[in-house]
Structure formats: C-alpha cells, structure tokens
Amino acid sequence: MSELPGDLLYTKEHEWLRREDDGSVTIGITDHAQSALGDLVYVELPEVGQDLDSGGDMAVVESVKAASDVFAPIAGNVVSVNEELSDDPEKINSDPYGDGWIVRLQPGGGDDDDLMAPDAYQTYLDELDD
C-alpha cells in the first residue's frame, strides 16, 4: 500500500478531501478504496450546481465487480465534476489522488468533525486489516 498524501483529509468511507486555495474542496476515493473495488468501468457523477447534503449520495463508482456509492463527506454545492472519468474511469485506479479526482464542492458550512488527518486514517486502515 502506497503512502498517504499528507495534505489530504480522509473519511471512514475511504474518501479523501483537499482544501483548494479558492476555498473549494476536491474529493476522490482513496487508494485503499480503488484497490478493494477493482478495475473501474463506470462513474456516475452529480450535476454541476447541485446542492449536496453531508452524507448524501454524491457519485456512484462501478467496477467490474460491483457498484459502490460515494457519499458527500461534507455539505456543499457542486462546482465541477471530473468529466474525463466518463471515458476513462480507470484514472481512479491509476491515480486516485490526482487525475482520478471525482467532484469539487463549494462547502456549504456545517460540521466536518469526522474528517481524519493522514495518520488517523492510516491507523484506521491498520485496524481494518487486523
């Protein structure tokens, strides 16, 4: 398992978030998540402009094996989606923290206490393995 990027925050549902300079937040799924899913074949993205609730449906990632929901880790308004995933969903497998990003949100305020720093997420992953 590769090292976790230090500038991201993580969720128990294996999503990552990056706070951008303009105040928006980029969201994707972690290397652990893509590895568990297997080769991705389809990604269903939300509409730009859509308001998402924290914990609500945000996207669906489908691998050769199964469909898996991706929940919005924080509330916000969708400012952009990664259209390239439509033709090349395997970008999530090959570069989960970079080209495989899924959605960019403008945070709508509210609680984000559940987000984990890299070391906390690593501990969480280690416990899952046990």
Partner 1 sequence: MSKKTPLYDKHVEAGARIVDFGGWDMPLHYGSQKDEHRSVRQRAGVFDVSHMTIVDLGGERTREFLRHLLANDVAKLAIRGKALYSCMLNADGGVIDDLIVYYLDDARYRLIVNAATREKDLAWIREQGGDYDIVVTERGELAMLAIQGPKARELAAPCIDAEWRQQALELKPFNGMDAGDLFIARTGYTGEDGWEIVMPASRATVAWDRLLAAGVAPCGLGARDTLRLEAAMNLYGNDMDESVSPLEAGLGWTVAWKPADRAFIGREPLEKLRGDGGLRRFVGLLLEDRGVLRDHQHIVVDNIGDGQITSGGFSPTIGRSIALARVPAGDYDRARVDIRGKLLNVRIVETPFVRNGKIRVDL
Dihedral, 128, 72, 37, 61 alpha carbons, nearest 10: 170
Query: CB-wise, 41 or 125, nearer to partner 1?
Result: 41
- Residues in contact with partner 1 by the rule CB under 8 A: 38-39, 41-42, 44, 60, 62, 64-67, 86
Biggest CA–CA distance in the chain, Å, is 41
13: tokens are: 């549902």
Q: How far is the CB of 124 from partner 1 (least distance, A)?
A: 20
Give residue for tokens 């568990």.
36
Which stretches within the chain are classed as H helix? Answer: 31-37, 84-87, 91-94, 118-129
As measured in angstroms, the least distance from the Cβ of 62 to partner 1 is 5
The span from the CA of 43 to the CA of 84, in Å, is: 10
- Per the CB < 8 A criterion, the answer to whether 68 and 37 are in contact is yes
**Of 67 and 120, CB closest to partner 1:** 67
Q: How far is the CB of 85 from partner 1 (least distance, A)?
A: 11
Q: Which is nearer to partner 1, 44 or 99 (CB)?
A: 44
CB of 36 to partner 1, least distance (A): 9
Which residue number, 51 or 62, has a Cβ lying nearer to partner 1?
62
